[in-house]
Structure 1
Amino acid sequence: MMSSRIARPALAAVRRTAPRTAVRTYAAPAADNTKPPVALFGLDGTYANALYIAAAKQSALDPTAKALSSLGQVLKSDPKLQGILSAPMLSDSDKSQIIAELQKHTGGQDKSETVKNFLSALAENNRLALLEGVCEKFGTLMSASKGEIELLITTAQDLDNRMLKRLESAVSKSEYSQGKKLKVTTKVNPEILGGLIVEIGERTIDYSVASKISRMNKMLTDSV
């Protein structure tokens, strides 16, 4: 596991006291042709915008997107890693080791070292914990730049291909698709109990069993 290789310096670091590094801006103001295609919010959105601008200036948007996709998969498959990246006190040596390990999982796509420099900026600003969110939001920017709209389908169990295609077809014919090509992602979350949650663009359609139970409980509580 990746987390086991970088856990030792990170865990040691939480026992130390170190001053926080001053925040610096990652990217300079962008030219018009490097402007992110959609507005993003939150701190991870701010960093995703900065990375998009930097990658566009280097003509490295596609390889950067592939590198971040690889990193995003690693973060999702190794739950301990997020805790390591969130360690509050990391020395410069710790950060260098973590960045080196993360670089190994970019799939060899970071030829321009745009991602490496970005990881260094996150580490310097003590923001490595934002990496997973940045990976997701960078994907949003790339989809928007290609005229795609993201469709996330969350279910309690894996969907079979037939049902997934039926859902994709139904959404693509609805007003929610805005006539754009869908970029479909699926997610399994047993906590929703059953049904599904559809997120497309800024819209969320919640048909989960958990949501229905919550609404029923509220109705019963309000009627007492």
Structure 2
Amino acid sequence: MTSTQVASRYAKSLLGLALERGVLEEVNRDMQFFSSTCKLNPDFVLMLKNPIINHSKKLSILKAIFADKVDQLTFSFFEIITRKNRESDLPAIATEFHHQYNVQSNVQEATITTTFVLTQELREKFRSIVKEISGKEVELLEKVNPDLIGGYILKVGDRQIDESISSHLKALRVEFGTNLYEKKY
């Protein structure tokens, strides 16, 4: 079973249990907290994936960081995952849980990539575009990529709107390259 499948199955189980116990919002916050901890501390993720560090040591580290900061269900889940020697999958499980939470809550995830940090006005414009496309509430992930030169790339589900200058330049190169080739022969 691939890591993605493992993450999806565990996330689905946790989501169902959180719904059943009425702590879905709390567990979602916990999983987002876990994800942000992973993003801010790459060494923490390396520790979780390190086969040399035994599982009880990893559990004691998880306990020291999260036991008094997350819901009891979330920490019990961490303990179960660690006992099953799957702690290296926890970052992927946390990410997948949030995706499944968004589906459950009728929230559309979208990613906007620009060359600069968005102003609140632009952020709201992109949110309204995504809401119009999807008919759902929107969670907008913002990325900055100076290689775009200008413009933006908006990803909504499996759709992508690429209005970046770099993609237009690539298209022109392809068009001119093709036209030059056709004229030679």
Place the TM-score, normalised by the shorter chain, in its bin.
0.7 to 0.9
Q: Structure 1: any 5+ residue segments left out of the alignment?
A: 1-22, 24-40
How many Å separate the matches in 1 of 2:137 and 2:61? Answer: 37
Alpha-carbon contact 1:195-1:208 (below 8 Å) kept: yes
Give the TM-score normalised by structure 1: 0.64
How many Å separate the matches in 2 of 1:56 and 1:45? Answer: 16
How many Å separate the matches in 2 of 1:53 and 1:97? Answer: 26
Task: Kindly provide the amino acid, as one letter, of the partner of residue 123 in structure 1.
Answer: T
How many Å separate the matches in 2 of 1:42 and 1:217? Answer: 40
How many Å separate the matches in 1 of 2:41 and 2:166? Answer: 27
TM-fit CA distance, 1:130: 2.7
| 1:168 and 2:124 matched | no
TM-fit CA distance, 1:191: 5.6
Q: Structure 2: any 5+ residue segments left out of the alignment?
A: none
**Number of residue pairs aligned between Structure 1 and Structure 2:** 178
How many Å separate the matches in 1 of 2:83 and 2:173? Answer: 47
Partner-residue secondary structure (3-state), 1:157: coil
Radius of gyration: which is bigger? 2
Identity, in percent, stands at 24
Give the TM-score normalised by structure 2: 0.76
Q: Which runs of 4+ in 1 moved over 6 A?
A: 216-219
More helix by share: 2
Deviation string, structure 1 residues 46-73 (Cα, Å, up to 9, x no partner): 2211211222232221111111111122
Equivalent positions of 1:1-224 (< 5 A) are 42-104=5-67, 108-110=69-71, 113-173=72-132, 176-177=133-134, 179-190=135-146, 194-208=150-164, 211=167
